[in-house]
Amino acid sequence: MIYRIWDSAVNEMFYPDEKGNHYLIHQNGSVSYKGTWCTPDVVLMRHTEIKDKRGAYIFEGDIVYRDELPGEKFVVEYFPNFCAFKLSQKHKCGDVFLWGLRSNADLRADNIKKIGNIFENGDLLNERN
């Protein structure tokens, strides 16, 4: 499983890179990145292993649009009960399962566009189109 890390102490997102500069999650729950210890205020977000229609990797916590629902914004969340990722809207009932053991065949990555994430771009969820 691949993760990215949000460190709220420094307001920075850390991604694993192609050069092998990955973070380590230690048995005691602490995290280090490129040999430097991170603060305890980190949030781990799972990689969905899927890219959006522009080729951007989608992670848990990303804010996305769906082509078939213009103007509607969703947050990618992991749903452990079904080992699946879902698109969620907090103000509406009924989530859309994205992929995993419970997948929705008509929802493809080529109709999803990543526009930000809840930590760096949380204000996107409050904007009206």
Q: What kind of architecture, by CATH, is found in domain 3-125? A: Roll (2.30)
State yes or no: pLDDT of 37 exceeds 80.
no
How is residue 79 annotated by DSSP? E
Residue found under tokens 């292993």: 49
Q: How many CB atoms lie within 10 A of CB 56?
A: 14
Is residue 82 within 8 A of residue 100, CB to CB? The reply is yes
Confidence of residue 114 (pLDDT cuts 50, 70, 90): very high
Supply the pTM of this predicted model: 0.77
